[in-house]
Amino acid sequence: MAGKALLDIKGVETYYGNIRALNGVDVSVDEGEIVALIGANGAGKSTLMMTIFGTPRARSGSIVFNGTDITQMPTHEIARLRIAQSPEGRRIFPRMTVMENLQMGASLDNLKYYDEDVEKVFHLFPRLKERIGQRGGTLSGGEQQMLSIGRALMARPKLLLLDEPSLGLAPLIVKQIFDAIRELNRTQGLTVFLVEQNAFGALKLATRGYVMVNGNVTMSGSGAELLANPEIRAAYLEGGRH
C-alpha cells in the first residue's frame, strides 16, 4: 500500500440516542486510493460518512484527516479542510440552476480558480454544461448525481466522500459516474472514499474495500480479494450484478 493515511478512523462509536449505530469502526484511506465501503441496508455506512463530518458526533474513538484530529471539530470547520461529500440522496438545491449549485460548492478561498474549476466539472460531465441554466430539481437522477459530485469538486477536495452515487441509476449512467470517479483518481490523484450497495461495481473500481455488518467492519482487503471471496459473493454479489 502506497502513501500515508489521509483519513484514519479508529475505534469510532456513534449513537442515535441510546442506540449504538457504530461499534468501534477502524477504517483508513491512503492518499491516492479509492476505498469502497459495502454492506446491507442499515449497516451503518451513511452513519460513518456523516460521523466523519461530525454530525452525528463520534462518542468515542478518533478521526484524523491529513494529520489533524477532527473528531471534535465543528462541522463547518471540517468542511474547510478540503474534505467534500456527495451525501446519500444527493441533496442538490432543487430551485437553483446547475450553475448556481456549482457556485454553492465553491469556497471563498478558491474563487481565483472558479472559472477553471467549473470548466473541469463540465469536462468531466458534459451533460451538465448542456443543462447549465436548468433548475436542479428538474434534472434526471443521473444528472443530479453528476451535479452533486460536481458541486463537491468545486471545493477542490483532497478527499471526496460519496454516499451511494449509483443508487437508482440505470447501468449506463452508473458506468459514466464510476468512469468519472476513476478518471478523477487517475488524472488528479483525488482520494475517494465511497459507500455503495452496488458491491460489484464498487469493488471493481476500488483499490481496497471494507465490509460493514451491523455497525462493525467484518472484512477488508483489496477490491479483487473481496470480489473473489466466497462469503462476499454469497452475501453481496449473488446474481452477479454488473
Residue 214 touching Mg ion (CB under 5 A) = no
DSSP SS3 for 9: strand
Measure Cα distances from 172 to 62, 111, 144, 166, 228 in Å. 39, 34, 15, 10, 24
- With b for 16 or more beta-carbon neighbours within 10 A and e for fewer, the 185-218 pattern comes to beeeebbbbbbbbbbbbbbebbbbbbbbeebebe
Residue 23 touching ligand ATP (CB under 6 A) = no
CB-wise, 21 or 205, nearer to ligand ATP?
Answer: 21
Residue 156 touching ligand ATP (CB under 6 A) = no
Determine which residue in the list 62, 97, 134, 197 makes contact with ligand ATP, applying CB under 6 A. 197
Taking CB under 6 A as the rule, which mask of x and - marks residues 74-93 in contact with ligand ATP?
Answer: --------------x-----
- Per the CB < 8 A criterion, the answer to whether 147 and 140 are in contact is no
CA-based nearest residue to 209, from 242, 238, 175, 236: 236
Taking CB under 5 A as the rule, which mask of x and - marks residues 60-89 in contact with Mg ion?
Answer: ----------------------------x-
DSSP SS3 for 4: coil
DSSP SS3 for 17: coil
Residue 222 touching Mg ion (CB under 5 A) = no
DSSP SS3 for 240: coil
Q: Which does 13 bind (CB under 5 to 8 A by kind): ligand ATP, Mg ion, none?
A: none
Q: Are strands 19-30 and 34-39 parallel, antiparallel or unpaired?
A: unpaired
Find the binding residues for Mg ion in span 32-61 (CB under 5 A). Answer: 46
Give the span between the Cα atoms of 48 and 171, in whole angstroms.
26
Which listed range, 40-48, 68-76, 181-189, 223-231, lies at the site for ligand ATP (CB under 6 A)?
40-48
Residue 214 touching ligand ATP (CB under 6 A) = no
CA-based nearest residue to 149, from 80, 84, 204, 94: 84
Q: Which does 21 bind (CB under 5 to 8 A by kind): Mg ion, ligand ATP, none?
A: ligand ATP
Q: Which does 34 bind (CB under 5 to 8 A by kind): Mg ion, ligand ATP, none?
A: none
Q: Which does 42 bind (CB under 5 to 8 A by kind): ligand ATP, Mg ion, none?
A: ligand ATP
Give the span between the Cα atoms of 103 and 118, in whole angstroms.
9
Binding positions for ligand ATP, rule: CB under 6 A:
16, 21, 39, 41-47, 88, 197
Footprint on this chain of Mg ion (rule: CB under 5 A): 46, 88
